Each structure stands twice: as structure tokens, then as C-alpha cells.
Amino acid sequence: MKNPVIFYAVIAIGVIALAAGIYFLAGGHHPARAYAGLGVGVVLLIAGVVGMFMTRSGSKVAVK
């Protein structure tokens, strides 16, 4: 995939999941949801950043 918009969307969804996890953690009502939201958010953030760097480095062509 060479479209960076997809990776920006993944990062945005990861930030929303992190915010939801922090909200549930601060409320104390659903600790399992809080940790699930935090975990999903971190995974999505990492996937989005790694995906952006992989497409950026993969698109460069070595020239002699």
C-alpha cells in the first residue's frame, strides 16, 4: 500500500482507542475495557507508524 492516508486513519483510531481506555480507567467502572482500549490503541499506533515508515523506505529506488 502506498497510500499514507490509510496509516493516518489507523493512527487516528489508535489515539481514539487510547482516549477511550484512559476514560474507562479514570472512571473505574470497566477496568477490562480500559486495558483493552489501551492495548488496542498502542497496537494501532505502532502499526500506523511502522506502516508509514515502511512505505516511505520501500518507495525509494537505489540509483547507482
CA distance 51 to 45: 10
| C-beta separation of 42 from 15 below 8 A | no
What local confidence, expressed as pLDDT, does residue 60 receive?
Answer: 58
Map out the domains of the chain as residue ranges: 4-58
Give the pTM. Answer: 0.79
Query: What pLDDT band is residue 29 in, cutting at 50, 70 and 90?
Result: confident
Residue closest to 11 by CA, chosen among 58, 43, 38? 43
Q: Which three cell numbers mark 58?
A: 520501500
Mean pLDDT on 21-48 = 93
Q: Which residue would you say has higher pLDDT here, 50 or 61?
A: 50
